[in-house]
Amino acid sequence: MGVDPKRTIAELKELRSLTADENGAQRVAWTDTWLKARNWFESRLDSLPVEQHIDPAGNRWVTLPGESGRALLLGSHLDSVPNGGWLDGSLGVLAALEVMRRINEEFHGRPPITIRLVDFADEEGARFGRSLLGSSAFAGTHSVEADRVRTDQNGIRMDDALRRCGVDMDRFPDARAEQKNAAAYLELHIEQGPVLENLMLPLGVVLGTKGVERHTITFHGQEAHSGSTPMKARHDALAAAAKLALEIRTIAGRHPDAVCTVGSVKTFPGIVTAVVGRCEATLDQRDLDAKVLAQMYREAREASERFAREEKCTVEWSRIWNIEPIKFHPELVKRCHEAVAHTAGVAHELPSGPLHDAAEVSRAGIPTVMMFVQSIGGISHNKIENTSEEHLEMAVRAFDRLASSTMNWLAG
C-alpha cells in the first residue's frame, strides 16, 4: 500500500534511457522521440482500470472514474527542450501516475471522486516557439490563426507537423471540452532555479506564476565619425541604452521577487569607427504582483526617457508580449503548505518565474496549485539538470499527500 517513490525514479531513468542521447533529453514535441516517450508512457497504464485518449490539441488524458464525476486533475508534460534534462515535466507526469496507482489501490478501483492524469502537449514550444500550446488550447486562450503559420528551423509548418502526429489544428478549440467536471489541478515540477537550494530546502509551495512584460526599446541618436565628433557633441544611442541596462537592476531591486533583464542589445551601424546612431535593446520584467509589474514598467519607461534626454537621443517602446501574473488558489496553497511542511518539516512559499501549464489551467478558472522540488545548482534546460533521489522521493510523497488532501476537500 502507499506510493512507491522509488518506482517513479526508476521510471524516470527508464524514460531517460529511451529518449536521451549524450547531449541530454530529446523529447521535443511533435518529433519521433516525443512520440516514443508517449508510447512508452501509454504502456505503463496497462494494469490500471482507466480510460485514456488524446484530445484535439494532442494532450493525453487518463481517467480513473470515481463515485462522483467531479475530477481532480494531476499532470505536467513529457516534452522537453532539445538537449534538456531528465526531470523537467516528466517528474510531474510520472509522479501523477504513481499517485493515481496509489489511489486506485486504496479505493479498489473506485475512488470517491474521479482522478484524471494529463500529459500536456508541447509545453516547451521548443520547435515552433509557442510554449504552453496544449494547455492553452485546453484553457481556451489559444489562437489557432496566430500559430498555424509558424515554421520550424527546417521551414516545416506547424499545422503540417501536428497533422503528422494526428492532431488537426482546426479542432484545437474542442480541447476545451476536457474542462468538464474539472474541480482542481495539481502539478509537481522541479524548481529550475536556485531559491530552494540556497535555503537548503527540498520542497517549496508555489504561490503562482509571475506576470511578464516584454518590450523592444529603441534609442535613436546620430551616427557620427568616432574620430571627428567631440564627446560633448554626440548623440550616443548605446550610452542611453547602457544606462537603462544598469537602472533596471535598481528598479527590480526595490521588490523582493521581481526580476528585470536586458537580454539583447544591437547597435547600428555597429562598427568600430562610428558613434552608435541606433540601439535596440530588449527588456523582460516579471513579478507575481500586477501592481509591482505595472510600476516597474512605468519606471523603466520614465528612466529610458530621462537617459534619452541626457544623451540627446529619442526613445520608442514596442511591446513584444505580456501576460498577467497568475496567483494560485488560496485553499490549495494552504493544503500544499501543509503537505510540504509535513513531509519536509518546513514549507517555503515562492513564486515561479518560468511559466507552466498550471498557469493556463488556472486561467481557465480551475483551482490550481504547484509544488516545487529543489534543482541542484538551480540548473534546468540542460543535460546536467538534476535533483537528489532523496528529494525526489520526498517530492512524490508530499505530492501524494497533497492529492489526498485535495480529494478530501473536493469530496467534502
From candidates 55, 79, 88, 289, binder to Zn ion by CB under 5 A: 88
CB 186 within 8 A of CB 402: yes
Applying CB under 5 A, does 353 fall inside the site for Zn ion? no
Using the rule CB under 5 A, give the single segment among 50-58, 81-89, 222-230, 253-261 that binds Zn ion.
Answer: 81-89
Q: How far is CA 213 from CA 208, 239, 285, 296, 352, in A?
A: 16, 23, 5, 9, 15
Q: Rounded to whole angstroms, how far apart are CA atoms 365 and 183? A: 9
The smaller minimum CB distance to Zn ion, of residues 193 and 221, is found at 193
What SS3 state is found at 294?
A: helix
Q: Rounded to whole angstroms, how far apart are CA atoms 58 and 357? A: 14
Smallest gap, in angstroms, from Cβ of residue 124 to Zn ion? 7
Smallest gap, in angstroms, from Cβ of residue 123 to Zn ion? 6
Q: Which amino acid is at 81?
A: V
Smallest gap, in angstroms, from Cβ of residue 170 to Zn ion? 27
Smallest gap, in angstroms, from Cβ of residue 379 to Zn ion? 14
Smallest gap, in angstroms, from Cβ of residue 354 to Zn ion? 7
The smaller minimum CB distance to Zn ion, of residues 34 and 219, is found at 34
The mark string for 220-239 relative to Zn ion (x by CB under 5 A, - otherwise) is --------------------
The smaller minimum CB distance to Zn ion, of residues 89 and 325, is found at 89
Smallest gap, in angstroms, from Cβ of residue 78 to Zn ion? 10
CB atoms within 10 A of CB 296: 24
The smaller minimum CB distance to Zn ion, of residues 66 and 208, is found at 208
**Measuring CA to CA, which residue among 25, 7, 28, 8 is closest to residue 17?**
25
Considering only residues 150 through 169, tell me which ones interact with Zn ion, judged by CB under 5 A. none
Applying CB under 5 A, does 119 fall inside the site for Zn ion? no
| DSSP annotation of 84 | B
Smallest gap, in angstroms, from Cβ of residue 240 to Zn ion? 37
Using the rule CB under 5 A, give the single segment among 85-93, 129-137, 179-187, 267-275 that binds Zn ion.
Answer: 85-93
**Binders of Zn ion: how many residues, by CB under 5 A?**
2
The smaller minimum CB distance to Zn ion, of residues 88 and 236, is found at 88
The smaller minimum CB distance to Zn ion, of residues 190 and 293, is found at 190
CB 272 within 8 A of CB 226: yes
Applying CB under 5 A, does 75 fall inside the site for Zn ion? no
Q: Which residue is nearest to Zn ion (CB)?
A: 89
Using the rule CB under 5 A, give the single segment among 10-18, 49-57, 88-96, 151-159 that binds Zn ion.
Answer: 88-96
Using the rule CB under 5 A, give the single segment among 4-12, 82-90, 144-152, 203-211 that binds Zn ion.
Answer: 82-90
The mark string for 300-329 relative to Zn ion (x by CB under 5 A, - otherwise) is ------------------------------
Q: Which amino acid is at 308?
A: A
Applying CB under 5 A, does 193 fall inside the site for Zn ion? no
What SS3 state is found at 392?
A: helix
What SS3 state is found at 404?
A: helix
Name the E strands within 180-331: 182-190, 203-209, 211-220, 224-225, 259-268, 274-275, 278-287, 314-323, 326-327
Q: What is the dihedral of CA 28, 32, 37, 40, to 10 degrees?
A: 170
Smallest gap, in angstroms, from Cβ of residue 330 to Zn ion? 24
Q: How far is CA 251 from CA 234, 238, 257, 285, 295, in A?
A: 27, 20, 12, 10, 9
Smallest gap, in angstroms, from Cβ of residue 134 to Zn ion? 12
From candidates 56, 89, 111, 208, binder to Zn ion by CB under 5 A: 89
Applying CB under 5 A, does 191 fall inside the site for Zn ion? no
The smaller minimum CB distance to Zn ion, of residues 192 and 405, is found at 192
Smallest gap, in angstroms, from Cβ of residue 338 to Zn ion? 25
| Cell (9 digits) for 386 | 538534476
User: Phi and psi dihedrals of 144, rounded to 5?
Assistant: -60, -40
Q: Which amino acid is at 44?
A: R
Q: Rounded to whole angstroms, how far apart are CA atoms 210 and 402? A: 23
Where on the chain is the footprint of Zn ion (CB under 5 A)? 88-89
